[in-house]
Amino acid sequence: MMRRIKIVVFSVTVVFTIGILGFMYLENYPVLDAFYMTLTTITTIGYGEVHPLSPRGRIFNSFLIVIGVGLMFQAVSLVAHLVLERELGELLGRRKSKRMIDRLNDHFIICGFGRVGRGAALEMQRNGVPFVVVDNSEDKVERAMRGGMLAVLADCTRDETLRELKIDRARGLVSALASDADNMFLILSARTLNSKLIISARANEEESEEKLRRAGADTVFAPYYLTGHRLAQSVLKPHVQEFMDIFTRNIGLSASMEQVRVESSCEMAGKSLKDLQLRRDLGVIVLAIRHGDSRMQFNPPADAVVHAGDYLIVMGEAHALRKLESLLGAHV
């Protein structure tokens, strides 16, 4: 299509130039009169001759009409085709997006596609989980769609938008809007519509963190503070920071960290880590246990008992982690 557009634009430009030069050479028209005569001829407006044409001028103008008018019709047809194609494409795209959103279940909603939201979306995409991006900027939504993401152009602080995104069936929500006030308003609305939703929020100011938690956010991150902290750690404890980068971003390793819930129906519930022998049988290391009472037990001993409802924070290769999930319960 772009090649066709370039050809038509080039052809019209060439014919227009020939028309101007022809009238100037054959009829001694001034540049402005030659431009005006060429324009009225090839656009079929036909106000009449600027100056009376000689026989050779009429012959030249006849060829200009045949060639120029044909090219102009082709150009108009091409523009109409592009407009119709875009409008139809947007309509079909919206219908396709709506169908995909209607099928979403146990998904994540990412509100805001700035630098923070984009990073969250890329991580979701890398992990292969269902999610939808919503932003009120057309450019950002188009960027998300070009990245192969499901994206919607809308105001995510409106309850109607959240309902259309099937928030009642969603697993979690990332609030990454530009202002703390917008994030707080969004969190209040989302928590009202789905009390079980896992909400993670961005805070621009440190004093806003506690307010966002009181509004209903489970986790609040201050990106500027975290960046400063990691910069300091990279010079104070470079090897520790390198280790954290490896296992939070999976750089150069097939292993990763995961959380696995121990279901009540699991036969391993009520047994100790020594009895489970996860490291020996699966090659999985248990880094911590988050108990049902929200207590986090780091580096648990071998006699630590795993109860139903606990989460194991584990590290291992992908195939081993998937096998552990099937043994202990669903990944959440």
Cα 107 to Cα 131: distance, rounded to the nearest angstrom? 5
Whether 144 has a pLDDT exceeding 70, the answer reads yes
Look at residue 252 and give its three-state secondary structure: coil
Question: 49 is written with which tokens?
Answer: 């001759």
Long-range contacts of 60-63 (CB under 8 A, 24+ apart): 60/22, 60/23, 60/26, 61/37
Average pLDDT over residues 208-235: 85
The per-residue b/e assignment along 203-225, b for 16 or more CB within 10 angstroms, e otherwise, is beeeebbebbbebbbeebbbeee
Q: What is the distance of C-alpha 226 from the center of its chain?
A: 23
Average pLDDT over residues 162-182: 93
pLDDT of residue 301: 92
The CA-based angle 136-138-139, given to 5 degrees, is 120
Question: Residue 234 — pLDDT band, cuts 50, 70, 90?
Answer: confident
Whether the Cβ atoms of residue 34 and residue 60 lie closer than 8 Å to each other: no
Cα four-point dihedral sign 280, 128, 256, 111: negative
Continuous segment of H or E residues that includes residue 111: strand 108-111
pTM above 0.95, yes or no: no
For the stretch 268-277, pLDDT in tens is 888 898 888 8
Average pLDDT over residues 178-185: 92
Domains of the chain, CATH where assigned: 2-98 (1.10.287.70), 104-221 (3.40.50.720), 254-328 (3.30.70.1450)
